[in-house]
Amino acid sequence: MLFLYDSTQPPNAGYWMFRTRIPLDIAYFDAAGVVRAIRAMQPCESILAQGCPSYPPDVPHRYALEVNSGFFQRHRIALGSIALLSDLPSRYSASEHRATSSK
Protein backbone atom coordinates (compact mmCIF):
# COMPACT_ATOMS: atom_id res chain seq x y z
CA MET A 1 0.00 0.00 0.00
CA LEU A 2 1.34 3.41 -0.95
CA PHE A 3 0.67 6.38 1.34
CA LEU A 4 0.99 9.87 -0.18
CA TYR A 5 1.10 13.08 1.83
CA ASP A 6 0.58 16.65 0.67
CA SER A 7 3.34 17.85 2.99
CA THR A 8 6.43 16.42 4.61
CA GLN A 9 5.63 14.32 7.67
CA PRO A 10 7.63 14.56 10.90
CA PRO A 11 10.16 11.89 11.93
CA ASN A 12 7.87 10.55 14.67
CA ALA A 13 4.88 9.93 12.34
CA GLY A 14 4.97 6.14 12.14
CA TYR A 15 2.65 3.25 11.46
CA TRP A 16 1.42 0.35 13.58
CA MET A 17 0.12 -3.13 12.81
CA PHE A 18 -3.24 -3.25 14.60
CA ARG A 19 -5.38 -6.05 13.11
CA THR A 20 -2.72 -6.88 10.52
CA ARG A 21 -2.09 -10.62 10.38
CA ILE A 22 1.12 -10.81 8.34
CA PRO A 23 4.54 -9.19 8.81
CA LEU A 24 5.14 -6.19 6.56
CA ASP A 25 8.07 -3.96 5.70
CA ILE A 26 7.65 -0.23 5.25
CA ALA A 27 9.90 2.20 3.42
CA TYR A 28 9.72 5.93 4.00
CA PHE A 29 10.60 8.21 1.05
CA ASP A 30 11.42 11.90 0.81
CA ALA A 31 9.78 14.20 -1.78
CA ALA A 32 12.38 13.20 -4.41
CA GLY A 33 11.55 9.49 -4.01
CA VAL A 34 14.72 8.57 -2.08
CA VAL A 35 14.39 5.83 0.56
CA ARG A 36 15.24 7.45 3.88
CA ALA A 37 14.20 4.62 6.25
CA ILE A 38 13.02 1.01 6.16
CA ARG A 39 11.34 -0.76 9.07
CA ALA A 40 10.29 -4.39 9.55
CA MET A 41 6.86 -4.51 11.20
CA GLN A 42 5.42 -7.50 13.04
CA PRO A 43 1.71 -8.28 13.51
CA CYS A 44 0.28 -6.93 16.74
CA GLU A 45 -1.73 -9.34 18.86
CA SER A 46 -3.18 -6.67 21.16
CA ILE A 47 -6.95 -6.35 21.26
CA LEU A 48 -6.55 -2.56 21.49
CA ALA A 49 -4.69 -0.35 19.00
CA GLN A 50 -2.98 1.43 21.91
CA GLY A 51 -1.20 -1.84 22.74
CA CYS A 52 0.58 -2.02 19.38
CA PRO A 53 4.09 -0.68 18.85
CA SER A 54 4.62 2.14 16.38
CA TYR A 55 7.28 2.04 13.66
CA PRO A 56 8.38 5.66 13.12
CA PRO A 57 11.00 6.39 10.46
CA ASP A 58 13.01 8.85 12.60
CA VAL A 59 13.38 11.00 9.45
CA PRO A 60 11.00 13.41 7.68
CA HIS A 61 9.11 11.72 4.84
CA ARG A 62 6.60 12.42 2.09
CA TYR A 63 5.62 8.89 1.04
CA ALA A 64 5.46 5.49 2.71
CA LEU A 65 5.21 2.09 1.02
CA GLU A 66 4.10 -1.06 2.87
CA VAL A 67 4.98 -4.40 1.26
CA ASN A 68 5.21 -8.06 2.25
CA SER A 69 8.06 -8.82 4.62
CA GLY A 70 11.36 -9.33 2.81
CA PHE A 71 10.33 -7.60 -0.43
CA PHE A 72 12.83 -4.76 -0.13
CA GLN A 73 15.70 -7.13 0.69
CA ARG A 74 14.84 -9.53 -2.15
CA HIS A 75 14.77 -6.63 -4.62
CA ARG A 76 17.91 -4.97 -3.19
CA ILE A 77 16.03 -1.84 -2.17
CA ALA A 78 17.91 -0.08 0.62
CA LEU A 79 18.55 3.34 2.11
CA GLY A 80 19.38 5.72 -0.72
CA SER A 81 17.48 3.74 -3.36
CA ILE A 82 15.30 5.90 -5.57
CA ALA A 83 11.69 5.19 -6.51
CA LEU A 84 10.44 6.56 -9.80
CA LEU A 85 7.22 8.29 -8.89
CA SER A 86 6.49 9.72 -12.34
CA ASP A 87 2.82 8.75 -12.28
CA LEU A 88 2.22 10.91 -9.20
CA PRO A 89 1.22 14.54 -9.38
CA SER A 90 4.21 16.83 -9.11
CA ARG A 91 4.81 17.64 -5.45
CA TYR A 92 7.74 19.97 -5.94
CA SER A 93 8.84 22.54 -8.45
CA ALA A 94 10.98 21.88 -11.53
CA SER A 95 13.86 23.77 -9.91
CA GLU A 96 13.77 21.41 -6.90
CA HIS A 97 13.76 18.44 -9.29
CA ARG A 98 16.83 19.73 -11.12
CA ALA A 99 18.61 20.29 -7.81
CA THR A 100 17.95 16.74 -6.60
CA SER A 101 18.59 15.14 -10.00
CA SER A 102 22.08 16.58 -10.28
CA LYS A 103 23.33 15.08 -6.99
Q: What is the pTM of this model?
A: 0.81
pLDDT of residue 95: 42
Given a cut of 70, the residues of the chain with pLDDT beneath it are 86-103
The per-residue pLDDT for range 24-53, each reduced to its tens digit, is: 999 999 999 999 999 999 999 999 999 999
**Positive or negative CA dihedral for 39, 41, 46, 49?**
positive
Q: Are 55 and 16 in contact (CB under 8 A)?
A: yes
